[in-house]
Amino acid sequence: MRLLVKCPSCSQKYDATKRKIGSRFRCRCGKVVQIAEPQAHEAAVVKAPAPELPRGDQTLLLVEDESSVRTLLQDTLERHGYHVIAAEHQAAALALVMARVDPIDLVITDVVMPGGTGPELVQALEAIMPGVPTLYISGFADPVLGQHGFPKASHFLQKPFSAGDLLLRVNQILTG
């Protein structure tokens, strides 16, 4: 009988036929998984602790033109302690920033939006908040991004991405 296990973090499947129940191994994603005793008529389950997602208390400017995506990202970030100022386009983002007294710690912006691109927004923000770190997000591929002035050396997250990917990247930028 063949015994397959699946890592709950990355869904990578492994043939565990020659491994003992209770044994542990490291998945390609880096998580340690353990082979558990299979239940009657079930495949073995892999026990791995849920990854601890980073939390923060910094202020983030989120600029995303799709309202459902913007709401989802804002909710995810706020549930993990971040203070989020959300805008649907460049003009709204600039107005929000101009009205603020407190600093913004990170800008998260879509690259391609109506009314101005993410790189154009960041260029305008440079005059107000020099050196503020930026995380670009986009569902477009490299050729399209190049047409919109996307700087290649920037922090970037390709859509679609998971909440964990977003939180890890935000934490990496803010603490790195």
Which pLDDT belongs to residue 53? Answer: 86
6-35 pLDDT, tens digit each? 777 777 776 767 777 777 777 777 777 777
Same domain flag for 64 and 35: no
The type of residue at 1 is M
Residues 3 and 77 in one domain: no
DSSP labels, the chain: ---EEE-TTT--EEE-TTSPTT-EEE-TTS-EEEEPPPPTTS---EE-PPP-------EEEEE-SSHHHHHHHHHHHHHTT-EEEEESSHHHHHHHHHH--S---EEEEESS-TTS-HHHHHHHHHHHSTT--EEEEESS-HHHHHHTT--TTSEEEESS--HHHHHHHHHHHHH-
Domain of 159: which CATH number? 3.40.50.2300
Residue 169 lies in a domain: yes
28 and 70 inside one domain = no
Same domain, 95 and 64: yes
pTM of this structure? 0.68
Please choose, from the candidates 96, 110, 99, 90, the residue with its C-alpha nearest in 3D space to the C-alpha of residue 150: 110
Among candidate residues 29, 84, 63, 38, the one with its CA nearest the CA of residue 138: 63
- For the residues 134-159, what does the mean pLDDT come to? 71
Q: Which two tokens stand for residue 133?
A: 């770190």
- In this structure, the answer to whether residues 113 and 133 fall within a common structural domain is yes
72 with 140, same domain: the answer is yes
Task: Please report the pLDDT score of residue 23 as a whole number.
Answer: 72
Domain count, the chain: 2
28 and 75 belong to one structural domain: no
41 and 73 belong to one structural domain: no
Please check whether residues 22 and 1 belong to one and the same domain: yes
Note whether residue 122 is domain-resident. yes
Examine residue 135 and state whether it is found in any structural domain, yes or no. yes
Same domain, 89 and 3: no
Residue 48 pLDDT exceeds 80 = no
Identify whether residues 169 and 82 lie together within a single domain.
Answer: yes
- Name residue 146's amino acid: G
- Asked if residue 54 belongs to a domain, the reply is no
Q: Are 92 and 141 members of one domain?
A: yes
Range of the domain at 21: 1-49
Q: pLDDT tens digit string along 96-146?
A: 999 988 999 999 999 888 888 888 999 999 999 999 999 999 887 654 555
**Is residue 31 one of the residues assigned to a domain?**
yes
pLDDT at 101: 86
